[in-house]
Structure 1
Amino acid sequence: MNRKFKALYFLHTAGWGNNSLCGYYRIRYSDGSSVDYPLTGGKNIADWWMPKNLPEAPVGIRRIGADGHEIGFYVAKWQNPHPDKTIASIDFYAASRNDEGEVDYINLQSPVPALAAITGEF
């Protein structure tokens, strides 16, 4: 990235993501410091099935899937607490991992976040 941003906007969704920590974005600055943005189910991210506006993320994309169910992605705004710092990179972490350290897509009790796009406000 290597730019300064006042805010970042994340277009994302989750499987099984309504009521728990789904993961987080780690925003890394060029000075070596970082800030975590938690993805909290029902607040700034939620399940992709039957999307509804959330307290911190309206539905950004809403479509009817091939099976006839409504699906969607949410737009969450992260306000940069250090807009004077250059953002070097962003890491995306899922909350659930299996014993080998990989994301556990089999456990239906665990949220699986999906990030589609990031844009920013200068």
Structure 2
Amino acid sequence: MSVRLYVLAFLITTISFALVPTGLTAEEWVFVDLKPKANSRLDQQWWTGEKAASTLSFLPIGKTEDFAGPNDKKVKFKIEKECVVVFGTNAAKWPKKIAGIKTDPKVQKVSFVYFLHATGWEDNAAPSYKFIMHYDDNSKAELEMQSGINSDDWCHDDSKLQDKNSVWGWIKKEGAPCGHAGLITTKWKNPKPNKGIVSIDIESLGTGAVPVIAGITLGDVLLNVDVQQKLTTKWGVLKSRI
């Protein structure tokens, strides 16, 4: 392509995007960063904080991979070594609530939230913890987690969960302390799909179960993209074709 046509293409691209101040782009998966609020590690004994490996040390730490999800659909989680643990009476050192886990500020709409989680110990009599989703209009929604329904002891990886939106997402048949363990994928359908979720809290409900959360992923998301980002992306595609 000649220099004149190259410049013309650039000007047309710039003007066309300048006419649209903002825009939305759809993403199947948007990962929630747990690191700023993390208080334990997957490559250690997550329930004690001791520097000793467990079954969760076999997770694909530092990678983004597919995990089993409801309805035989794979769900992507980004696994870091950091995780979040909250209070249960069997491990009372942990905080009763972790508040303000931020989502990507560009999130405008969310259809689903996926949680990768389990507990140490269990309590089948009542919910053990809950997730609290905060919206951009200052409203909120909650999801309670109960052993045998949509949560369970991580060493009970052969148990059947009653909730159709919860399945064992990852299982490993080796490692301490049980020689096997797993994590559950729970799918939560957002009752306000046209609202952005700005943050998520995790709160203990004071039973013996000790929750661990290894990943949170937003599903079917609309992100707000500014002019510069759209222009940079579009121009990069254009140059690759010249």
The residue aligned with 2:140 is: 34
Letter in 2 for 1:93: E
Q: SS at the partner of 1:65?
A: coil
Deviations 1:31-58 (A, max 9, x none): 1000011011111110111313413211
CA distance in 1, matches of 2:149, 2:114: 15
CA distance in 2, matches of 1:30, 1:9: 19
Aligned partner of 1:55 among 162, 168, 192: 162
CA distance in 2, matches of 1:33, 1:119: 20
The residue aligned with 1:117 is: 215
Structure 1 residue 61 displacement after superposition: 1.1
1:1-122 correspondence runs (5 A)? 1=103, 2=105, 3=107, 4-19=109-124, 20-51=126-157, 52-56=159-163, 57-63=166-172, 64-67=174-177, 69-96=179-206, 110-122=208-220
Structure 1 residue 117 displacement after superposition: 0.2
CA distance in 1, matches of 2:176, 2:135: 41
Contact 2:123–2:208, Cα closer than 8 Å, also in 1: no
Q: How many residue pairs were aligned?
A: 110
Percent sequence identity over aligned pairs: 32
Letter in 1 for 2:122: G
Structure 1 residue 67 displacement after superposition: 4.7
Cα 1:67–1:23 change in 2 (3 A) is closer
Larger Rg: 2
TM-score by length of 2: 0.43
Letter in 2 for 1:54: L
Give the 4+ runs in structure 1 shifted more than 2 A.
Answer: 66-69
Q: Which structure has the highest helix share of the two?
A: 2
CA RMSD of aligned residues (A): 1.5
TM-score by length of 1: 0.82
CA distance in 2, matches of 1:87, 1:23: 19
CA distance in 1, matches of 2:213, 2:132: 13
- Structure 2 residue ranges without an equivalent (≥5): 1-102, 221-242
Greater relative CO (CA pairs within 8 A, separation 6+):
1
